[in-house]
Amino acid sequence: MPRRRPHQIVFAAAGLYNIAWGILSILDPQWFFRFAGMPPANHPEIFACLGMVLGLYGLLDLEVARRPEQGWPIAAVGLAGKLLGPIGAVVLISTGAWPVKAFLLCVTNDLIWWVPFALYIRDSCSATARQP
């Protein structure tokens, strides 16, 4: 697989980031609302649940880092989420439901991962296509 080691590093970093983000969101589900200057969530357990899901994504990212030759389906689901998340955020911001500052969440959770995830999927698919 082309760029195998850089892909492993990216997915290890993504995994650790998602696990850390998930733990923070479980332990303090109001942090994002405070950061963005939004009123506290009425149901912070929903944001804590999102933290749990992101933490689990982190475990999947670590699996891609461990076995990059078999990880493209996991990475494809991850990239889909990283594409759809900002679309939802733009809708919320454009309707005034969320402040612009909330978009920073998309920068760190989604946008910075687009290129490395897409490059990994391309490399993984081209390596798979070359196998007999």
* Per-residue model confidence as pLDDT tens digits over 39-91: 999 999 999 999 999 999 999 999 999 999 999 999 999 999 999 999 999 99
Closest CA to 18 of 65, 55, 61, 66: 55
- Residue 128 confidence (pLDDT) above 80: no
Q: How many domains does the chain have?
A: 1
- Quick one: pLDDT at residue 55? 96
d(CA 72, CA 7): 11
- Quick one: pLDDT at residue 88? 96
- 55 lies in which domain range? 4-130
- Residue 9 confidence (pLDDT) above 80: yes
Burial profile 13-49: b = 16 or more Cβ within 10 angstroms, e = fewer: ebbebbbebbeebbeebeebbeeeeeeeeeebeebbe
- Quick one: pLDDT at residue 1? 86
Structure tokens that stand for 65 in this block: 């880092």
Tell me the average pLDDT of the chain: 94
102-122: average pLDDT:
95
